Amino acid sequence: DAGITQSPRHKVTETGTPVTLRCHQTENHRYMYWYRQDPGHGLRLIHYSYGVKDTDKGEVSDGYSVSRSKTEDFLLTLESATSSQTSVYFCAISLDRYNEQFFGPGTRLTVL
Amino acid sequence: KNQVEQSPQSLIILEGKNCTLQCNYTVSPFSNLRWYKQDTGRGPVSLTIMTFSENTKSNGRYTATLDADTKQSSLHITASQLSDSASYICVVSGEQAGTALIFGKGTTLSVSS
């Protein structure tokens, strides 16, 4: 998975609790992304980062926040998890916006 | 609206047979088109990436074609193997602000022995 790890790989939580997912890369790629994948939908972009402390919203950013304090780490936070945020979350990295994106192994999140 | 449509939604073929997956898009202006393979429980892995000026690209038994005039792409798999069983995702990038990629919903391919 191109030097990308995600943690945790699986998580079950309750509605209303905060959740943080971590993406860690060893490739020194500038761009990092968070996607969610749901049945019947293509991968959808939540947030992305184009450098340390530089982030922007994607297509489905409501209810999510991100932070990038180091090149190698990109955190996705659900401030107050809802059942609609049950999904598989993928982190991806790329050298720049036009280059190939490499995906991590995914995190399966269940919100009860 | 920028969209990527893939067909068929699912496909079952016998090992050793060939198959072709289709992708139609309405993204404009167009930058590049990518095909990804996603095994169950894993992240997508890139197979090919084509820009406007390229109309075919191969990666082993996988050959992608692109017709930018009709906004269609296909992924041809030759001599299928059991390990080809996966979801194949077409992704289109437009020349626009930000880094938005438009993902198709994928075609699920099952190769049986």
Rounded Cα distance between A90 and B36, Å, is: 14
Mean pLDDT of B50-67: 94
Mean pLDDT of B3-15: 96
pLDDT tens profile A48-84: 999 999 999 998 999 999 999 999 999 999 999 999 9
A42–B102 CB contact, under 8 Å? yes
A16 touches chain B (CB under 8 A): no
pLDDT tens profile A17-56: 999 999 999 999 999 999 999 988 889 999 999 999 999 9
Q: What is the overall mean pLDDT for chain B?
A: 92
Residue numbers in B near A41 (CB within 8 A):
105
**Chain B nearest C-alpha distance from A62 (Å):** 16
Q: For residue B112, what are the β-bridge partners?
A: B14
A49 touches chain B (CB under 8 A): no
B43–A105 CB contact, under 8 Å? yes
pLDDT confidence tier of residue B29, bands split at 50, 70 and 90: confident
Residue B98 has pLDDT above 60, yes or no: no
Q: What is the interface size between A and B, counted as CB pairs within 8 Å?
A: 51
Residue A104 has pLDDT above 70, yes or no: yes
Q: Where do we find the tokens 């992608």?
A: B64
Q: Tell me the pairing of strands A10-13 and B30-38.
A: unpaired
**Chain B nearest C-alpha distance from A42 (Å):** 4
**Chain B nearest C-alpha distance from A75 (Å):** 18
Cis, peptide link before residue A18, omega less than 30° from 0: no
B108 touches chain A (CB under 8 A): no
Q: Which of B39, B42, B13 is nearest to B110 (CA)?
A: B13
Mean pLDDT of B57-72: 95
